[in-house]
Amino acid sequence: MAGRIRQADVDEVKARTNIADIIGERVALKPAGVGALKGLCPFHDERSPSFNVRPQAGFYHCFGCGESGDVYSFLRAMDHMTFTEAVERLAGRIGYSLHYEDGGAAPETAGRSRLYAANAAAADFFRAQLATPEAETARRFLGERGFDAGAAAHFGVGYAPRGWSGMLNALRAEGYPEDVLSAAGLVSQGQRGVYDRFRGRVVWPIRDVTGQVLGFGARRLYDDDNGPKYLNTPETTIYKKAQVLYGLDLAKRTVSREHRVVVVEGYTDVMACHLAGVTTAIATCGTAFGSDHISVLRRVMGDDSAAGEVVFTFDPDAAGQKAALRAFADAKRFNAQTYVATGPEGLDPCDLRLQRGDGAVRALVEAKVPMVEFVLDQRISGFDLASVEGRVGALRSAAPVVGELRDPLLQPEYVRVLARRLGMDTEDVRREVERAARGGSRTPDATKPAEALSGETARVTIASLPRSAEVALERDALMGFLQFGHRLDTDLVSRAVGFPFRHQALDAVRQAIASAPDRQRVGWAMEAVTSIREPYRSLGGELLAADFPALTDDAAVSSTTDLARHLIRRALETEKSELLGAIQRVPPDSTDGRSIRIRLREIDRERARITDEA
């Protein structure tokens, strides 16, 4: 492995590089006196330019934020590179061969520049081919997904012709030998020689954070193509699929500025998100999201605090749920908070934009839920929470998730969240979480019901709901809210649906009602039902259409109002029970003790007021 770059080479590369050329690719520079250029600072927002560049000195300085340095520090800050990567990039730009402390030139580094150049030439070839008559199928493929010529140009999308040597011949003519094309993964070896790896496909260039083309992803277009639907560049010296993220070159500045990234599942999803205004979207390239991807993102995000956000989009089906669980296993490596967003009716961002517009894509991301909650829902899904055995099994399945949380403030909060979801005593849940954190819990899979193990969740219907008083209360209340919400007191309903329900499926319906922006508007209930996450959407439809147990509309409104009050009283009683347990564990004269007693008195007054209103 090569050692450190020789200092003489570091100095020579810097001396041969005009810093104004490098900075000028990102900042519009104008003359500002003798030997100086000025522009808007790329490191902070400003109205008047205070960023000065001195080409002769190879130096920049911002009088607004104080950032300063040389060409290497500029590249490291802007492109999130290491020092060695910055030197190697500039050396490749000027065609300079670097030498390392262990002696001689590094053949891998010397060869890297040729691979980058070959990939860049291939990207130009594919992009030009998209305008040819043969590429009509590719243009139609893109158009049917909402991408016009401008979108294709923005993302560098191209077309690989159907022949065996179109790209090979074009790059040979530019002076690229077969061994370089093979090392870049652009050609494959056959019995009669090499041939184009990508043929008859839509092609996306995959770039690193500096914008250099590392490889390609290609989608099959023709029925007679027996190859895989998606084909990527094989592993090469510069293309490591476990480390590359499609779209990061376009997203990096916004990701770095906003400390937020949206992880989607495909090339067209990235395109749809960016065109819809979600310009922090990226995707993996033919592999699952893993630890190396996290390392790349953390470097770009500046992930040194909990202020950032990582939003994963997954299909709400079994495969998507498994992908989310895999991501959760690695997500703890982020300092940023992690979330999950699932599209309505299983639509991915590309289809969502096509069917419902750009606003729906933005709404998808904003409707994210914490990944911990999503995983907890998956762990307890399928258990009958109306039975003692079901609640205990769900607790044993979910406790390890909470036990693994590192944040000392988040863990106790999620203990309470889990206790409310299960309808169990907070102290019992806390003890099980602590036991799981010590490694003493049962293996979660051993406690899962058969349908959870199979990765499939049966469709929930009104008929399949458990027969218990608690479930009946939640079922009838939701039925009334959906059917008569426009005639109910808005504040009362908001309070009633503001507390988690004990049955998993009914709680999913509750969340949709709670999220409805205007329950007085015509058609709100239908929209609420369509927003319910699968596999519970059909249950919401049943609740909206079922016969409410009342003789008249007025009676139904009155009955639903009583049910809403009952839900509020139940939530207050649950909170009171938790507080009565908590007050036993704190000194009576402590601040916590006094706060608990005050809240207990408030609960009693709220219960009395709710009862008086009845």
What mean pLDDT do residues 162-183 have? 94
Q: What is residue 264's predicted lDDT score, i.e. its pLDDT?
A: 93
Tell me which residue of 405, 387, 436, 556 sits closest to 485, measured CA to CA: 556
What mean pLDDT do residues 197-219 have? 93
Alpha carbon distance 408, 428 (integer Å): 19
Whether pTM > 0.75 for this model: the answer is: no
What mean pLDDT do residues 554-568 have? 90
Q: What is residue 531's predicted lDDT score, i.e. its pLDDT?
A: 86
Q: What is residue 522's predicted lDDT score, i.e. its pLDDT?
A: 63
Residue 24's Cβ-count burial label (10 Å; 0-12, 13-18, 19+) is middle
With beta carbons less than 8 A apart as the criterion, state whether 383 and 391 touch: yes
Least confident of 140-149, 231-240, 469-478, 546-555: 546-555
Query: How far is the first Cα of the chain from the last one, in angstroms, to the nearest whole number?
Result: 79
Q: Could you tell me the two tokens for 433? A: 């979480």
With beta carbons less than 8 A apart as the criterion, state whether 53 and 36 touch: yes
The two most distant CA atoms of the chain are separated, in Å, by 92
Partners of 99 in beta bridges? 105
82 pLDDT band, cuts 50/70/90, is confident
Q: Could you tell me the two tokens for 304? A: 């040194």
Cis peptide before 535 (omega within 30 of 0): yes
- For residue 446, pLDDT beyond 50: no
What mean pLDDT do residues 265-277 have? 95
Q: What is residue 452's predicted lDDT score, i.e. its pLDDT?
A: 43
440 pLDDT band, cuts 50/70/90, is low
Q: What is residue 456's predicted lDDT score, i.e. its pLDDT?
A: 44
Q: What is residue 614's predicted lDDT score, i.e. its pLDDT?
A: 62
Which 3 state secondary structure label does DSSP give 52?
strand
Least confident of 10-24, 110-124, 310-324, 493-507: 310-324
Least confident of 67-81, 169-183, 263-277: 67-81
What mean pLDDT do residues 1-25 have? 85
Least confident of 90-94, 191-195, 522-526, 564-568: 522-526
The string of pLDDT tens digits covering residues 350-367 is 999 999 999 999 999 998
275 pLDDT band, cuts 50/70/90, is very high
Whole-number percent of the chain with pLDDT over 70: 89
Q: What is residue 123's predicted lDDT score, i.e. its pLDDT?
A: 97
Q: What is residue 186's predicted lDDT score, i.e. its pLDDT?
A: 97
Alpha carbon distance 513, 507 (integer Å): 10
Which of the pair, 125 or 614, is modelled with greater confidence?
125
Least confident of 102-111, 256-265, 519-528, 562-571: 102-111
Q: What is residue 375's predicted lDDT score, i.e. its pLDDT?
A: 86
Q: What is residue 134's predicted lDDT score, i.e. its pLDDT?
A: 96
305 pLDDT band, cuts 50/70/90, is low
* Amino acid at the residue 139: R
Tell me which residue of 190, 201, 202, 204 sits closest to 226, measured CA to CA: 201
Alpha carbon distance 159, 123 (integer Å): 9
Mean pLDDT for the chain? Answer: 85
- For residue 474, pLDDT beyond 70: yes
For 602, phi then psi, to 5°, come to: -65, -40
